[in-house]
Amino acid sequence: MATPRLPKMPKNLKQKQSEAVKFVNLTPHDIHVFHDEILRECTIIPASGEVARLAEVITPTGKEAGGIELYAIKHNSVVVGVPKPHKNTYYIVSAICKMLLHSRDDVLCPVRMIKS
């Protein structure tokens, strides 16, 4: 199974001694942030229980199979489940959600996966 991994923290995100930075993981998986290339030291950012997702539009197809009504699911380009920006808070989302929220500097996504 692949373990989501964030890149090394960019210099502009490093916290100053006087302010605490908070990461909110809006994916369904714990995120392991490795601090060295040997993968010895890591910080785990647990899944928050809230998940950022693309909004779904569910419509009946008018068909059935085995007595079960069938529905069509379409995703639009609206991301749901991401709170408004808060000072010193960064939200971790999937890559597809980050692409749609590209203008938000407080939204991050894992970029490298390590199989465990």
What pLDDT digit, counting tens, does each position of 54-72 carry? 999 999 999 999 999 999 9
Q: How many helices (H) does the chain have, and how many strands (E)? A: 1, 9
pLDDT of residue 62: 94
Other Cβ atoms within 10 Å of 110 Cβ, number = 22
**Site of tokens 């419509």:** 59
Q: How many CA atoms does the CB half-sphere of 7 hold within 13 Å?
A: 6
**Residues paired with residue 5 on neighbouring β-strands, in sequence order:** 112
Report the predicted TM-score, pTM, of the whole model to 2 decimal places: 0.71
Kindly give the residue spans of alpha helices, DSSP state H, lying in the chain: 95-100
Residues of the chain by 3-state class (helix, strand, coil), percent to 5: 10, 45, 45
Predicted confidence band at 42 (pLDDT cuts at 50, 70, 90)? confident
Percent of the chain, pLDDT > 70?
Answer: 81
Counted residue by residue, the chain has a size of 116
pLDDT of residue 63: 95
